[in-house]
Amino acid sequence: MFVCFGSAVVLFSAARPRLEATLPTPKMKQALPVTPHLTMAIASISSRLVVDLSEAKVYSYWGDRLIATYPIAVGQKGWETPTGTFTVLNKRRNPAWKHPITGEAIPTGPDNPLGDRWIGFWSDNRHQIGFHGTNKEQLVGQAVSHGCLRMRNADIRALYEQVEVGTQVIVRK
């Protein structure tokens, strides 16, 4: 007995059914990968950083779950780290640095006080403040920066992977 299903023909016998014709290959549209913008939006909604200046620590959260805590160096007297709610504006690997007082440009490398990662969250269009590594890890935990939040190099690399542009940054005293 022959039964027709679309363009396929199936032959039924007493033993078992078998295909006499091949089934057409289904036409599938290729699904587009999640766009980087959507990935960043999801990450920025779900993650946040809370900086406690009095504790000299930054707390990284995914939703309500604490992911990590890192020690930081904060702004020195006269160059205090601004408080408030901000968002990550940019991220850079191997950033160059311009001294805020002398204007001297320091290229990437071992003498660069920013280390090899930058996560910017504040700017007055003249100065920028963010999280970064350091070439003087022994100063982490102290008030020694020009407003930035210095971190040990291994810690800033880990934090860099936890945040995206748009991630909320809450800085409190």
The catalytic site residues sit at 132, 148
| Distance from C-alpha of 122 to C-alpha of 129, rounded to nearest angstrom | 5
* Residue 135 host element (H or E): none
Q: Is 94 left (phi over 0), alpha (psi -120 to 50) or beta?
A: left
Concatenating the DSSP letter of every residue in 1-59 gives: -EEEETTEEEE--SS--EESSPPPPPP-PPPPPPPHHHHHHHHHHHEEEEEETTTTEEE
Show the CA angle centred on residue 121, arms to residues 89 and 108, nearest 5°.
Answer: 85
